[in-house]
Structure 1
Amino acid sequence: MTKAPIFEINDSDGKPFKMEDHFPMVLYFYPKDSTSGCTTEAKEFTALIPEFQKLGYDVVGVSRDSEKSHQNFICRYTLAITLLSDPEEKACKAYDVIKEKNMYGKKVMGVVRSTFLIDKDGNLVKEWRKVKAAGHAQAVLDFIKNPEAAEA
């Protein structure tokens, strides 16, 4: 099994977030606070937080947005997930989620929506890349509950 890359960046309150203190976890990367897809994904993860917590999992979102942007995003949508600020792209690079994207006909480097499931020992159990926001949180939860069925 592959070890998950470890990083330490700040949460929305400016406090250092130590990954190993939060295993097992669902770690998801998203492009930008308060955009439609990212809001959908954050709200769906928030709605399922009690179920993730029952199974022992933390849900952590990462974007390149500032801590202040994260605070506004959390307040505006009453989010119950931890958001990490990665303006220097430390975490994004560690998980290889910065890719060339086509924005309105222009090539830009951006975060590709991706999720990583990390077990209690820090092993990378599953990764989802280029995911669609709607319904993704439920798909991750379904996989945690029953990995064999979710693979079918």
Structure 2
Amino acid sequence: MSLEIGKPVPDFTAIATGDRQVSLSELRGRQVVIYFYPRASTPGCTTEGGDFRDNKAAFDAANTVILGVSRDGLKAQQNFKDKQAFNFDLISDKDESVCQLFDVIKLKKLYGKEHLGIERSTFLIDREGKLAREWRKVKVKGHVEEVLEAAQALHDDA
């Protein structure tokens, strides 16, 4: 099953930092940015998370919740969040259920070896739970600014 722009995103519930359950349905009425990153505490993922952290006030002003997702365990996610002072929750998706829903597990090459991993991707969901935008094969530099512009435009249109 693949997600389509303008169509509802199926509800999911996942465990997040702070040992909390996060459900997409509970966030209705707010826009949601879900960004997938390969691994906690790695350079690109730290930079991307920091960019979201540093722009959180602007996302808040656009009525937009930020959620980061990787396959790391809850302890690794909590350590990553604490160390980087992230002001949003990180989801631990060890069973890959959220990753599968958004189809972000892809065959990747590292040092000539192939493995399945998370393709850096971001999704913007509107207040009614429909997919508004998606970014795949994300390059970190300038990405968060682009997502913020889309979130602000969506908010202004509402």
TM-score by length of 2: 0.89
Measured in 2, the distance between the counterparts of 1:138 and 1:16 equals: 28
Counterpart residue identity of residue 92, structure 2: S
Distance 1:33 1:5 in 2: 25
Query: Counterpart of 1:138?
Result: 145
**SS of alignment partner, residue 68 of structure 2:** strand
SS at match of 2:72: coil
Structure 1-normalised TM-score? 0.93
Distance 1:108 1:30 in 2: 15
Instruction: Identify the residue that residue 107 of structure 2 maps to in structure 1.
Output: 100
8 Å Cα contact 2:14/2:22 also seen in 1: yes
- Distance in 1 (CA, whole Å) between partners of 2:146 and 2:14 is 27
Instruction: Tell me the secondary structure at the aligned position of residue 94 of structure 2.
Output: coil
**Residue of structure 1 equivalent to 2:87:** 80
C-alpha distance in structure 1 between counterparts of 2:130 and 2:48, whole Å? 24
1:128 aligns with 2:135: yes
Q: CA deviation at 1:50?
A: 0.3
Q: Could you tell me which runs of 5 or more consecutive residues in structure 2 were left unpaired when the two chains were aligned.
A: 1-5
- Letter of the structure 2 residue corresponding to residue 102 of structure 1: K
Provide the rounded CA distance (Å) in 1 between the counterparts of 2:84 and 2:134. Answer: 26
Give how far 1:137 is off.
0.8
Give yes or no for the alignment of 1:43 onto 2:50. Answer: yes
Equivalent residue for 1:19?
24
Residues of 2 paired with 1:21 and 1:49: CA distance? 20
The residue type equivalent to 2:40 in the other structure is: D
- Alignment RMSD, CA only? 1.1
| CA distance in 1: counterparts of 2:134 and 2:10, whole angstroms | 13
Contact 2:31 2:151 in 1 (8 A): no
Partner of 1:60: 67
CA distance in 2 between counterparts of 1:146 and 1:95 reads 23
Stretches (4+) displaced over 4 A: none
| 1:116–1:124 contact (8 Å) kept in structure 2 | yes
| Residue 30 in structure 1 maps to residue 37 in structure 2 | yes
Q: Report the equivalent of 1:10.
A: 15
